[in-house]
Amino acid sequence: DAGVIQSPRHEVTEMGQEVTLRCKLISGHNSLFWYRQTMMRGLELLIYFNNNVPIDDSGMPEDRFSAKMPNASFSTLKIQPSEPRDSAVYFCASSLQLSTDTQYFGPGTRLTVL
Amino acid sequence: GQQVMQIPQYQHVQEGEDFTTYCNSSTTLSNIQWYKQRPGGHPVFLIQLVKSGEVKKQKRLTFQFGEAKKNSSLHITATQTTDVGTYFCAIKAAGNKLTFGGGTRVLVKP
């Protein structure tokens, strides 16, 4: 049974470029969470969805960040334009239901913005 | 919002020794979870504690939830090099979202 799949695993881009991170949920899971991890700020929740609907985006740092869930199994996190301070590891995680506490994390995307 | 503090931030342990990491909240918690993240890896769920005073064991790992449900501890006995990583506690805040502590980074000296 495949776990959460993220792509790309590594992304290096220049400041001002658009970056799109992708996530495929575990089959049958209904909730999707995007996190950002840095040494300074630790693991931060950016946004989460339940049944394709965004529930809470209060963790999204600014309007340059947007996330979508076009179908039940797939999500994207877009940064436009990217800035060096966006450099971090971005994880998505899924859970069976929103009320189900166990979250399964993907391998992460390491983003470097030069 | 609701926050959780983890101490210590770093733990250097001699292989074979025991250590404990703590997670503290100022408010009463409904439950608490523990995750482990290996270097270069992603957080992996270890366990969830729900009941006051609950103790759960996974091999050499012992997890405890405080009687007042405001703190939790993770105790590892006979530390091995495979225990290297960062251990996070996480609490459920409003809206079913998890808030993670800052983590305890464990380094094992062989």
In chain B, residues with a C-beta closer than 8 Å to the C-beta of A33 are 97-98
CB B35 within 8 A of CB B78: no
Note whether B85 contacts A: Cβ–Cβ < 8 A: no
Note whether A58 contacts B: Cβ–Cβ < 8 A: no
Q: What is the mean pLDDT of residues B19-47?
A: 94
Reply yes or no on whether the pLDDT at B2 is more than 70: no
For residue A72, what are the CA distances in angstroms to A4, A53, A67, B25, B48? Answer: 13, 10, 14, 35, 27
Note whether A65 contacts B: Cβ–Cβ < 8 A: no
Reply yes or no on whether the pLDDT at A98 is more than 80: no
Q: What is the mean pLDDT of residues B5-23?
A: 95
CB B4 within 8 A of CB B25: yes
Beta bridge partners of A34: A47, A92
Residue matched to tokens 């992708």: A22
H or E element, residue A68: strand A65-71
Can you give the C-alpha Rg of chain B in angstroms?
13
Cα separation of B8 and B23, whole Å?
9
Conformation bin of residue A101: beta by default, left when phi > 0, alpha when psi is -120 to 50: alpha
Roughly how many angstroms between the first and final C-alpha of chain A, as a whole number?
A: 37
For residue B63, what are the CA distances in angstroms to A69, A89, B105? Answer: 36, 28, 17
At position B100, the amino acid (one-letter code) is F
Cα separation of B79 and B110, whole Å?
10
Of A17, A38, A30, A37, nearest to A80 by C-alpha is A17
In chain B, residues with a C-beta closer than 8 Å to the C-beta of A30 are none
Roughly how many angstroms between the first and final C-alpha of chain B, as a whole number?
A: 40
Conformation bin of residue A28: beta by default, left when phi > 0, alpha when psi is -120 to 50: left
Across chain B, what does the average pLDDT equal?
Answer: 93
* Predicted pLDDT at B1: 59
Of B42, B92, B102, the CB nearest to A105: B42
pLDDT digits (tens, 9 = 90+) for A12-27: 999 999 999 999 999 9
Reply yes or no on whether the pLDDT at B87 is more than 70: yes
Beta bridge partners of A67: A77
Q: What is the mean pLDDT of residues B48-56?
A: 95
Note whether B39 contacts A: Cβ–Cβ < 8 A: no
